[in-house]
Amino acid sequence: MPELMTRTGTRGEPAVDPDDVTIAYIGGGSRQWAPNLIQDLAQSPLDGEVRLYDAVPESAERNARFGNWVDDRPEATADWSYEATDSLPDALAGADIVITSTQYDPAETFVHDLDIPQEYGIHGAVAATIGPGGILRAMRTIPQYREFAAAIREHCPDAWVFNYTNPVHFVTRAMYDEFPEINAIGLCHEVLGTRHRLARYAREELGMDADREDVSVNVKGINHFTWVDEARCKGVDLWPVLEDLLESDHAYQRFTPEDLEGESVFTDNWQVTWELFRRFGVLPAAGDRHLIEYATWFMADGVEGLNRWGVRRTGSDYRAKHWTPAESDQTTDVEAWLAGEKEFELTDSDETFVDIVLALAGEKTYVTNVNLPNVGQVDGIEEGAVVETNATIRAGEVKPVAAGGFPRPVRSLISGHVDTIETVIEASREGDVDHAFEGFLIDQQIRTLQTDEARELFADLVAAESEYLEDWDLEGSSVLAEAERDLQ
C-alpha cells in the first residue's frame, strides 16, 4: 500500500516539537470543542500557543480568556498561551497544527435540515451527515472549507490538519479536492464509543479488567457508517462473546415512545447495531442514531419506527436550544466558570487529539481511527473517496492500516453513499446546483420519494438556507427553476 501522509522527506523525523507547538484553531469560538481541547492541553505533556480564529471574534476572545485562565490554575501541568485573532492568515502563519471545528447558526440552518424533510415523510434522527439535511449541510460547508484549504496551502502547507466539522467525510474530502497535498485527517469519536462498549462486554461477560484502550478493532467504512469484523481485548477474541449476545434477549429489545420519555437523544440502545450484525455478519461501529440514516430501513415508519429500535429523534427545538447558552444542556459553561458562578473542575474529554500529536512528535506510536482518502486501505471502495479505518501514527507520519473489504451487501450500501458524496464534491467545484441535485437524488433516504417530490424538497431546503449557499449558482439552476414554475 502507498504510504500516505508523510510530512517530512525522512521517515521517522518528528513533525512537531512537543515543547513548542503552534496550533491554529479555525472555529476557535466553539462552545464545546474548544473548552474541551483547552482542558486536555492543560493536562498534557505538550507546551505551546493556540491562535483562536472565529467568524464571531468575541467568541474566540472568550475562549482565549478561558484558555489562559485554565493555564494559570495550579492543577494545570502544561504551559500554553491563547490569543484570539480576527485574521485567518495571522492564525495560520507557520502553524504546526490546524484544528477545524465550525458550524453555522443551527436556528437558521439545522432546524430546516430536520423540519423540512419531515414534511416529506423523511424523519432523520440527526440530519447532520447524510440524507437531505446532511447534504444541505455539506453544500453550505464545503465552499468554506475549500477556502480554508487554500489558505492552509498559502500560509502553513506542511501543517497537520485535524477536522472535527461534520459532515466529516464531505468536509475532509473537499479539503483534499482543493489542496491534494494537505495533511488532513477527519476525526470522530463514534468508533471510540464502540470500543468503550466492547470493553464493557469484556468486563461483564468475561470478567476482565478492561477499558477502551485495551480493545482493538479492525474498523472500515465511511464516517458514521463504519464496520468491525475483528475485535480483541488484551488479545482475547471478543467475537464469540458478540455472537452469544446476539442470541440473547439483550439483542432483541423493542421500545415504545413511552419507554424513551426522558431519555437523552444520545442514549444508544444498540438495537440497530444488533439487527445489522444479525443480517450481515459484521458489526456496525457507530451509534444507532447515525446508522439509521445510512441503513434507511429503520426510518420507514417515521418516529414510531425509530422509537421501536430505541432511537430518539433529535428535534429542531433541541438544536435551537443547544445553540442558546441559557437553554443549553451542554457540559461546558465558560462564562459561568470565568465569573465564578459555577464550580470548575479540570476534566479529560477522552478524545484522541493529544495522543495523536504526541505520536507525530515522535513520543510514541499510536493507533486510532481516522478519516483519510482511500489509497487501498479499504477494498472495493473507489480510490480517493474519504474512508475511515485505523491508522498507525508515529513521528511525522500517519499511515492508514489495510482493513480489507466487506460482504457484498454492505459494500453496496457504502458505495451508494460514496457516490452521493463524490457527486456533491464534483458539483462544488463550479457551484453547479443541478449536479448537486443529482447527488441529492441518489441519496438512499431520498429514494423513497418520486423525482418531482425530491426536487420540491431540494428546492424548499435551498430556499430556506439560500443565505448560506452564496457560493452556488442558484440563479443558473434549471432544477430550481422547474420547482418555481410548478408553484405558479
What does the pLDDT look like over 101-127, one tens digit per residue? Answer: 998 888 899 999 999 999 999 998 999
Q: Is the pLDDT of residue 321 over 70?
A: no
How does residue 487 score in pLDDT terms, banded at 50, 70 and 90? confident
| Catalytic member of 123, 189, 224, 290 | 189
Work out the burial of residue 446: count CB atoms within 10 Å of its CB; fewer than 13 is exposed, 13-18 middle, 19 or more buried.
buried
Q: What is d(CA 467, CA 354) in angstroms, rounded to the nearest whole number?
A: 37
pLDDT recorded at residue 9: 36
Q: Has residue 225 been placed in a domain?
A: no
155 a catalytic residue: no
Q: What is d(CA 162, CA 98) in angstroms, rounded to the nearest whole number?
A: 6
The contacts found for 469-474 with CB under 8 angstroms, 24 or more apart, are 469/139, 469/140, 471/143, 471/431, 472/139, 472/143, 472/431, 472/432, 472/433, 472/436, 473/430, 473/431, 473/432, 473/433, 474/433
pLDDT recorded at residue 15: 75
- When mean pLDDT is compared across 11-25, 63-77, 119-133, 259-273, the lowest value belongs to 11-25
How does residue 294 score in pLDDT terms, banded at 50, 70 and 90? very high
Q: Is the pLDDT of residue 65 over 60?
A: yes
pTM: predicted TM-score of the whole model, two decimal places: 0.94
Q: Is the dihedral of CA 261, 263, 265, 270 positive or negative?
A: negative
Stretch (H or E) spanning 85: strand 80-85
pLDDT recorded at residue 11: 42
pLDDT digits (tens, 9 = 90+) for 1-16: 445 554 443 445 677 9
pLDDT recorded at residue 322: 60
pLDDT recorded at residue 208: 98
Q: Is the pLDDT of residue 418 over 50?
A: yes
Q: What is d(CA 298, CA 302) in angstroms, rounded to the nearest whole number?
A: 8
pLDDT recorded at residue 2: 40
How does residue 323 score in pLDDT terms, banded at 50, 70 and 90? low
Average pLDDT, the chain: 94
- Assess contact for 374 and 350: CB atoms under 8 A: no
pLDDT recorded at residue 311: 94
Q: What is d(CA 87, CA 162) in angstroms, rounded to the nearest whole number?
A: 20
Question: What's the distance, CA 14 to chain centroid?
Answer: 27
Q: How far is CA 369 from CA 20, 189, 190, 220, 405, in A?
A: 26, 9, 10, 9, 16
Q: Has residue 440 been placed in a domain?
A: no
Grid coordinates standing for 373? 482518502
Q: Is the pLDDT of residue 344 over 60?
A: yes
Q: What is d(CA 214, CA 235) in angstroms, rounded to the nearest whole number?
A: 9
Structural domain of residue 116, as residue ranges? 21-186
Amino acid in the structure at residue 363:
E
Nearest by Cα to 351 from 26, 36, 2, 11: 36
Q: Has residue 366 been placed in a domain?
A: no
Q: Has residue 27 been placed in a domain?
A: yes
Residues in CB range of 319: below 8 A, 6 or more apart: 106, 107, 110, 111, 114
Q: What is d(CA 170, CA 424) in angstroms, rounded to the nearest whole number?
A: 8
pLDDT recorded at residue 20: 97
317-335 average pLDDT score:
65
pLDDT recorded at residue 329: 54
Residues in CB range of 412: below 8 A, 6 or more apart: none
Q: Has residue 129 been placed in a domain?
A: yes
Q: Has residue 98 been placed in a domain?
A: yes
Q: What is d(CA 268, CA 286) in angstroms, rounded to the nearest whole number?
A: 10
Q: Phi/psi class of residue 310: alpha, beta or left (left: φ > 0; alpha: ψ in -120 to 50)?
A: left
- Assess contact for 290 and 314: CB atoms under 8 A: no
Q: What is d(CA 24, CA 87) in angstroms, rounded to the nearest whole number?
A: 11
Q: Has residue 470 been placed in a domain?
A: no
Q: How many domains does the chain have?
A: 1
**Domain holding 80: CATH number?**
3.90.1820.10
Q: What is d(CA 432, CA 282) in angstroms, rounded to the nearest whole number?
A: 37
Q: Which residue has the higher pLDDT, 245 or 486?
A: 245
Number of Cβ within a 10 Å radius of residue 155: 18
Pairing of the two strands 283-284 and 236-237 = unpaired
Q: Has residue 70 been placed in a domain?
A: yes
pLDDT recorded at residue 486: 86
pLDDT recorded at residue 488: 74
pLDDT digits (tens, 9 = 90+) for 16-44: 999 999 999 999 999 999 999 999 999 99
Q: Is the pLDDT of residue 320 over 60?
A: yes
Q: Is the pLDDT of residue 333 over 50?
A: yes
Q: Is the dihedral of CA 280, 282, 286, 288 positive or negative?
A: positive
Portion of the chain with pLDDT greater than 90, in percent: 88
